[in-house]
Structure 1
């Protein structure tokens, strides 16, 4: 078989691989945005009241489902990192490793946060068994679990924001994405990381500062599904 025949056979395979990988990563961006949002809303609906432990028994399914969706988002983030790494590694191994390290740090902290949420269930059960005598300490432990999840989430988002600045800088340099998306990504995640840091220090402006990065994730998800990575940059290592 000639070299030209091999090349002709490889081209459609590379194109198919690019499209499939692009669509999968795009789908993960969109699903992660949705899954964590729903999960966090379900958890907040249970733990939002000052005396939330009293209602946990009646809303345990809602709380556990919310925690499960938050944990599912962790798997989504793992999937994105695993799929992204071999693509960007050929364009900058050191930067790719920094991105991978921040994603590992993020998913570990998110998992710790979800476990803290799930601890609310046995705390509430013990509160009922202990009666009025144990209600005060149980409420304190429950509040600590909620605060632990919030802190773990904010630190994880700080790591995510920093890691994605490196990611989009590499995407800009490699031209895997159009320049406007890469610049949007760097700026959006820098603002996102700043919002997470502000929340850690008690300045509650993080929700507003998530908007540029959140819109970027939606736009990027649809772009990758419809257009995909730039073919020349995807198929050829520098």
Structure 2
């Protein structure tokens, strides 16, 4: 504070110095803030750039990952009911339009299962590229053999349909083991689901191999854990979707 007894000239000099001091302090403070903000932006830029580049490379965003999850879940449920109802119709109908309807539903299931593999490809690829391709191949294998079985059933060769079905399901069971391992490691879904799926598919594959070895009824009993998993997994994807890692692939290498 300026003294009342201070000469006018001295007071002016003192006031000028105080003003300069305040201005200098303000400039130093502003510089410190700007420097800190600049460093924060620079440090976060590589992460932001990596996130954007990964999202562009995989073609996945939060919205597209959510839609993909819903589509996969819907197709899995649709395939489950299409094949189940189609098989029941075709197995009990005589050669007629009803038999054709059942076979067509079974063929539509083949389309659905292949579509599931195709939709999962961009989701799995950032986490396990080989497994992503392998899972698509597994679904194509399954769909092809189930389609052969449907056509054979339509032509009156029920024994070929039986063989084709068990070969398809055995292949699905074995191929999906790697799929479940990838789900477990990537945490795209809760790990208990991945473990459940692994056990279910292993049981499913074992049952189908036993059926092919003429152990009647083994496939039906062994399919229960895997069948329940696929239903629950599909509902989970529709209701909850994948974890956020599916949207920006944060587990991909930097």
Partner in structure 1 of residue 153 of structure 2: 117
TM-superposition CA deviations, 1:149-198 (whole Å, max 9, x none): 11011000000111111111111111111000000000000000111111
Q: Residue 80 of structure 1: CA displacement?
A: 0.1
Highest Rg: 1 or 2?
2
The answer on 1:19 being equivalent to 2:66 is yes
The answer on 1:184 being equivalent to 2:196 is yes
What is the alpha-carbon distance in structure 1 between the residues aligned to residue 78 and residue 200 of structure 2?
A: 19
What is the alpha-carbon distance in structure 2 between the residues aligned to residue 172 and residue 211 of structure 1?
A: 21
For residue 159 of structure 2, give the secondary structure of its aligned residue in structure 1: helix
For residue 215 of structure 2, give the secondary structure of its aligned residue in structure 1: coil
Q: Residue 206 of structure 1: CA displacement?
A: 0.7
Q: Residue 93 of structure 1: CA displacement?
A: 1.5
Q: Residue 235 of structure 1: CA displacement?
A: 1.8
Partner in structure 2 of residue 156 of structure 1: 168
What is the alpha-carbon distance in structure 2 between the residues aligned to residue 93 and residue 14 of structure 1?
A: 18
What is the alpha-carbon distance in structure 1 between the residues aligned to residue 247 and residue 63 of structure 2?
A: 12
TM-superposition CA deviations, 1:86-134 (whole Å, max 9, x none): 11111112222222222222222111111111223xxxxxxxxxxxxxx
Structure 1 unaligned residues grouped into runs of 5+: 47-54, 121-144
Task: Tell me which of the two structures has the higher relative contact order, counting C-alpha pairs closer than 8 angstroms and 6 or more residues apart.
Answer: 1
What is the alpha-carbon distance in structure 2 between the residues aligned to residue 23 and residue 98 of structure 1?
A: 22
What is the alpha-carbon distance in structure 2 between the residues aligned to residue 157 and residue 167 of structure 1?
A: 15
How is 1:52-91 mapped onto 2 (pairs within 5 angstroms)? 55-56=94-95, 60-91=96-127
What is the alpha-carbon distance in structure 2 between the residues aligned to residue 17 and residue 197 of structure 1?
A: 38
Q: 2:133 aligns with which of 97, 113, 116?
A: 97
Q: Residue 36 of structure 1: CA displacement?
A: 0.5
Structure 2 unaligned residues grouped into runs of 5+: 1-44
Q: TM-score w.r.t. structure 2 length?
A: 0.73
Aligned residues: 198
| Cα contact 2:200–2:229 (8 A) shared by 1 | yes
For residue 210 of structure 1, give the secondary structure of its aligned residue in structure 2: helix
| Cα contact 1:42–1:63 (8 A) shared by 2 | yes
Q: 1:45 aligns with which of 92, 102, 114?
A: 92
Partner in structure 1 of residue 225 of structure 2: 212
Q: TM-score w.r.t. structure 1 length?
A: 0.78
